[in-house]
Amino acid sequence: MKIVPVACLQDNYAYLIVDESTKSAAAVDPVEPEKVLAAAGEVGAHIDFVLTTHHHWDHAGGNEKMTQLVPGIKVYGGSLDNVKGCTDQVENGIKLSLGKDIEILCLHTPCHTKGHISYYVTSKEGEDPAVFTGDTLFIAGCGRFFEGTAEQMHQSLCVTLGSLPKPTRVYCGHEYTVQNLKFMLTVEPDNEKMKQKMEWAQKQREANQPTVPSTIGEEFEINTFMRVDLPEIQAKFGAKSPVDAMREVRKIKDNWKG
């Protein structure tokens, strides 16, 4: 499978997932439909359906236009999120197929929004899987708890996404990596992996290149939100449990001026 990030708006990412044998593609969060269709044209792919991670306009805002530009296209979105332009609702455990070789598993990852869905994508070709995490998991960060709790974010990040194979590539909804790592280094200043990632990410951005993807394995090293199960992280925040630590780190991040 081929994955094509499409930079949209100020710092959003839409994505194309392309089944290379059939040139069938799925578009993830195509907020700028013309841009995403042009990207599909460049790789000779045709978009069969849309995968929406959540209802916020900078992710779902292109869905209705997409249905006009590609008549009959299916638009998938979480059953608990009121997704604009959605034709087919999905929930945790629903499986979709793309082309000949690609399977997509819908994972309910609530907190940022009630019905947020992450899409776990595997290929029969045997390459590393990928997960499209919208605004639940960012590289070295996570989404604000707009519609949920620390318990839900802990479950979504550390259990649901955290149980995916470590080499799973993480494609998130925004280019926030450098800013996220700046914050992470204020809470874990001695974390060498974070420092290395920061240096790399800054170079990528200076070259106008994306910092996606990371991997699930890497997030356990560079993302404090995914490290809250570690006793030393809980101790740092005077937390009695992973969920307490999650709540505390998010509170500090929400008030951080950067």
Is residue 189 packed enough to be buried (19+ CB in 10 Å), middle (13-18) or exposed (0-12)? exposed
- Which strand (E) or helix (H) includes residue 56? none
Q: Which residues are catalytic?
A: 54, 56, 58-59, 112, 135, 174
Residue 207 corresponds to which tokens in the numbers above? 């070259």
Q: Are 109 and 116 in contact, with CB atoms under 8 Å apart?
A: yes
169 neighbors 4 (Cβ within 8 angstroms): no
Beta carbons of 62 and 31 less than 8 angstroms apart: yes
- DSSP string for 85-133: T-SEEE-TT-EEEETTTEEEEEEE--SSSTT-EEEEEEETT-PPPEEEE
Q: Are strands 74-78 and 88-90 parallel, antiparallel or unpaired?
A: parallel
Helices (DSSP H) in the chain: which residue ranges? 33-42, 57-60, 63-69, 150-154, 177-187, 192-206, 216-222, 231-236, 242-255
